[in-house]
């Protein structure tokens, strides 16, 4: 639940911090390990070097005594308490020890066999910790008598520990510092990259409160598709709202004429038959107006958000229906469509558009209706032809004068075509009238595919 409520930037920040911490922690751990083991190795190597240094200067007399020079090359052997000590023992006796051991009693228990080395850690009574290398030596005098010795080199571990602690401290300081800086930089980067989302939210809020009509255009590429779609939706809504408003206003206004006519007739006429006739006439007109405006208001209109619909399927279904209704007319329809054509439009609008056109063709033909669908690159051309008498002049005007209010003269033909013309213009299409080869009308509709 809490995870779900986290904002995007907090999620990113949390994830990045966790990853960064883990990464830095693992780095520190492995660096520290590597340093420790290399320090230990170096230490042991140094002790061995001391062994060779001492052996190179040690001399043995015939009776097995050890003769060492006064000063050794390594000054630390001569400085008391320097932390570096050397001792040669034979059996349990100390044969020689470096000056640095002054005041220290080192009992060294290990006596490895000749040429063997043995590392150990020794803790002295004083609490000092030493790393000790015991090395077995055998001296053979000219009579072939053998003397066994152990050479011990010890170095105070404290210095090494100090070094390790120093390394760890600087390691943590550096890594921690870097981590902190990275986190701060990350936070800034996140804020900066998520800023467009924040801006979009503010933009949307402005639309909600009515301060703006659409989202601004300058969004990063990734958001642009979304904001453009929102804008399309907003425009679509806007135009639909306007269409509703216009239809409502048009309807109200256009109803007033037949109402006025009927009221006038009621007040002035005394002829009941005449009154009835007028009443029927005006009721028909009101009905036609309601149908027309209802249709106009419910037209969806063009929008790129609409899913593609199959023209072939819609026309096929309409033809099946009309064949049924006009069965007695024995109409022969011919429908030509290549592979199926899809256009982005509202299915209801297409049913309305094609239904009205096809019904007119069925109604006014003698017995032939031809439908021909021709897809172009960006548009689709639909031809609907019949072998009737063609469209009367006054109805032709309904096609040409777009958006005209049908409150003057309405009949079946005119109303259907007015609806057709409205839908075509809502989709920014074209409508043309030609003479058909069959003898009647050829209505050509060109609609954009998107």
Footprint of other proteins (CB under 8 A)? 283, 287, 291, 294-295, 298, 317-318, 320-321, 324-325, 327-328, 347-348, 351-352, 354-356
Q: Nearer to other proteins by C-beta: 1 or 320?
A: 320
- State how far the Cα of 439 lies from the Cα of 167, in Å rounded to an integer: 101
* β-bridge partners, 432: 444
Q: How far is the CB of 287 from other proteins (least distance, A)?
A: 6
Which residue number, 252 or 325, has a Cβ lying nearer to other proteins?
Answer: 325
Shortest distance, position 11 Cβ to other proteins, whole Å: 45
Rounded to 5°, angle at Cα 323 from 317 and 328:
165
Contact 287, 294 (CB under 8 A): no
* Distance separating the N- and C-terminal Cα atoms of the chain: 42
Closest to other proteins by CB, 354 or 380: 354
Nearest approach, Cβ of residue 311 and other proteins (Å): 14
Nearer to other proteins, 315 or 399 (CB): 315
Facing residues of 380 across strands? 375, 447
CA separation for the pair 50, 74 (Å, rounded):
9
Q: How far is the CB of 374 from other proteins (least distance, A)?
A: 23
Beta bridge partner(s), residue 309 = 343
CB of 395 to other proteins, least distance (A): 19
Q: How far is CA 398 from the centre of its chain?
A: 50
Could you tell me how many residues make up the chain?
450
**219 vs 427, beta carbon nearer other proteins:** 427
Kind and range of the H or E element at 111? none
Q: Tokens representing 325?
A: 């209704």
State which residue, 167 or 351, has the beta carbon closest to other proteins. Answer: 351
CB of 290 to other proteins, least distance (A): 9
Alpha-carbon gap, residue 144 to 64, rounded angstroms? 12
């Amino acid at each position: 639940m809490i995870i779900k409520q986290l904002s995007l930037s907090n999620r990113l920040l949390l994830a990045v911090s966790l990853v960064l911490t883990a990464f830095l922690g693992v780095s520190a751990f492995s660096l520290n390990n590597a340093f420790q083991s290399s320090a230990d190795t170096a230490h042991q190597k140094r002790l061995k070097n001391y062994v060779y240094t001492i052996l190179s200067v040690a001399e043995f007399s015939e009776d097995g005594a050890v003769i060492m020079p006064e000063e050794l090359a390594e000054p630390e052997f001569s400085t008391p308490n320097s932390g570096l000590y050397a001792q040669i023992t034979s059996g349990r006796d100390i044969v020689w020890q470096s000056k640095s051991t002054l005041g220290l009693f080192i009992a060294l228990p290990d006596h490895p066999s000749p040429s063997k080395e043995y590392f150990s850690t020794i803790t002295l009574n004083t609490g000092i910790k030493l790393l000790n290398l015991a090395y077995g030596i055998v001296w053979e005098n000219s009579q072939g008598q053998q003397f066994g010795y152990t050479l011990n080199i010890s170095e105070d571990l404290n210095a090494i520990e100090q070094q390790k602690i120093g390394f760890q401290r600087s390691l943590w300081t550096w890594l921690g510092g870097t981590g902190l800086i990275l986190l701060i930089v990350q936070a800034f980067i996140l804020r900066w990259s998520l800023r467009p989302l924040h801006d979009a939210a503010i933009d949307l809020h402005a639309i909600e409160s009515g301060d703006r009509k659409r989202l601004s255009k300058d969004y990063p590429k990734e958001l642009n598709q979304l904001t453009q779609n929102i804008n399309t939706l907003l425009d679509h809504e806007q135009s639909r709202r306007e269409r509703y408003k216009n239809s409502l206003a048009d309807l109200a206004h256009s109803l007033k004429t037949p109402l006025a006519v009927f009221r006038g007739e009621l007040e002035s006429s005394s002829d009941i038959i005449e009154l009835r006739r007028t009443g029927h006439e005006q009721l028909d007109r009101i009905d036609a107006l309601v149908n027309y405006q209802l249709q106009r208001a419910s037209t969806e209109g063009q929008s790129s958000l609409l899913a593609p619909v199959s023209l072939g399927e819609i026309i096929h279904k309409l033809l099946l229906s009309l064949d049924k209704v006009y069965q007695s007319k024995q109409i022969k329809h011919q429908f030509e469509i290549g592979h199926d054509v899809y256009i982005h439009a509202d299915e209801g609008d297409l049913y309305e558009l094609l239904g009205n056109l096809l019904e007119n063709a069925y109604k006014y033909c003698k017995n032939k209706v031809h439908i021909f669908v021709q897809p172009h690159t960006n548009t689709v051309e639909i031809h609907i032809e019949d072998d009737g008498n063609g469209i009367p002049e006054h109805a032709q005007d309904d096609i040409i004068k777009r958006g005209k209010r049908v409150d003057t003269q309405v009949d079946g033909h005119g109303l259907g075509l007015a609806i057709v013309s409205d839908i075509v213009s809502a989709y920014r299409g074209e409508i043309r009238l030609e003479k058909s080869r069959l003898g009647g009308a050829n209505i050509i509709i060109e609609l954009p595919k998107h």
